Amino acid sequence: KVKVATLSDIHSFKEYQQVYNDIAKKIEDEDDFDVDGSAGPNLVRLAWHSAGTYDKYDKNPHTNGGSYGGTMRFSKEGGDGANNGLAKGREFLEPLLKKYTWLSHGDLWTLAGVVAIQEMGGPKIKWRPGRKDLSEEYQAPNGKLPDAAQGPDYVRKFFNRLDFTDREMVALIGAHTLGRCHVTSSGYDGPWDFAPTMFDNGFFTQLQKGVGSGEGQWHLRKWDGPEQYEDNNSNSLMMLPADMALVQDPKFKKIVDEFAASQEAFFNEFAPAFQKLLESGIHFPKESKELVFRTLDEQS
């Protein structure tokens, strides 16, 4: 088996907490990374795109993706249009690889996603080390990451390929409470809620009301860019067609309503789903310990 997490050359909890702290401090220090300041949202997206290439129907370890091999560092996977903008996050983390020479790209990128979520006020995410850098031959094929122009059937099918249930996929997409779309990266434009560096259930409270002419509802933006929605209240927030899919499908909508009503319910389901995402396609031996890191705040 190729993608088995190693137990022999992993490091101690203390050392991974040290890496966590270094990433967290770097996020804090470099507060002009993006329009909204923090590098956090980019790092969450980097973690997700490193893992989200996984294809459970593909039994060939060379092509079935996932975060194990850190293969986004190579030009084919790194150059997939869906990964536009993520080189910036990879470069941000580069010094950590120089300092912790034993750390793999896959462990670093997934850990950085966990750091970013926790430091921005999100739930604790259990994380396990043991990914190993693999060679170029293990790059996932291009086109394995989702198309934002699609609707509910596509979204469901896409996340089934990664082995997720309806509840898990809705929870995961709630990460769009973070960050924004950049015209220069995806062609889309703008943030999903008013606090793009805070991990909360804001995505669901905004999305919940769906398309219409009422207060807090959404309309198609009139512009030359790709089809996206704009909010009636401020005309400054956005939703992708693939986000709006979550209120168009009645099964998804029920879950959106639950998460909009309770941030706790959202956090409780997001955390295990995000851990599962980061571990997609990797076999973790039974003895693999789940690490739960303390935030900088909790340590001060």
Binding-site ranges for ligand DDH (CB under 6 A): 41-42, 44-45, 48, 85, 146, 148, 155, 158, 172-173, 175-176, 178-182, 185-186, 188, 240, 242, 274
The question of whether 109 is a catalytic residue gets the answer no
Q: Give CA torsion, residues 174, 180, 181, 183, to 10 deg.
A: 180
For residue 294, the 8-state DSSP code is P
What's the min distance (Å) between Cβ of 146 and ligand DDH? 3
C-alpha distances in Å from residue 90, one per residue of 9, 84, 100, 135, 246: 23, 11, 15, 17, 30
Q: Which is nearer to ligand DDH, 19 or 47 (CB)?
A: 47
What's the min distance (Å) between Cβ of 6 and ligand DDH? 25
What's the min distance (Å) between Cβ of 162 and ligand DDH? 9
Q: Which two tokens stand for residue 65?
A: 């993706």
| Alpha carbons 110 and 128: distance in angstroms, whole number | 9
Q: Which is nearer to ligand DDH, 10 or 43 (CB)?
A: 43
Cα of first residue to Cα of last residue in the chain, in angstroms, is 42
Catalytic residue among 48, 49, 176, 218: 49
Q: Which is nearer to ligand DDH, 10 or 82 (CB)?
A: 82
Residue whose C-beta lies closest to ligand DDH = 179
Q: Which is nearer to ligand DDH, 67 or 186 (CB)?
A: 186
Catalytic residue among 48, 109, 127, 192: 192
| Alpha carbons 117 and 178: distance in angstroms, whole number | 9
What's the min distance (Å) between Cβ of 280 and ligand DDH? 11
Q: Which is nearer to ligand DDH, 10 or 34 (CB)?
A: 34
The answer to whether 61 and 124 are in contact (CB under 8 A) is: no
What's the min distance (Å) between Cβ of 292 and ligand DDH? 19
Q: Which two tokens stand for residue 188?
A: 């889309």
What's the min distance (Å) between Cβ of 86 and ligand DDH? 8
Amino acid code (one letter) for 273: A
- φ, ψ of residue 141 to 5 degrees: the values are -60, 155
Q: Which is nearer to ligand DDH, 157 or 219 (CB)?
A: 157
| Alpha carbons 75 and 80: distance in angstroms, whole number | 8
Q: Give CA torsion, residues 245, 247, 252, 256, to 10 deg.
A: 130
The answer to whether 68 and 132 are in contact (CB under 8 A) is: yes
The question of whether 102 is a catalytic residue gets the answer no
Catalytically active residues, by annotation: 49, 192
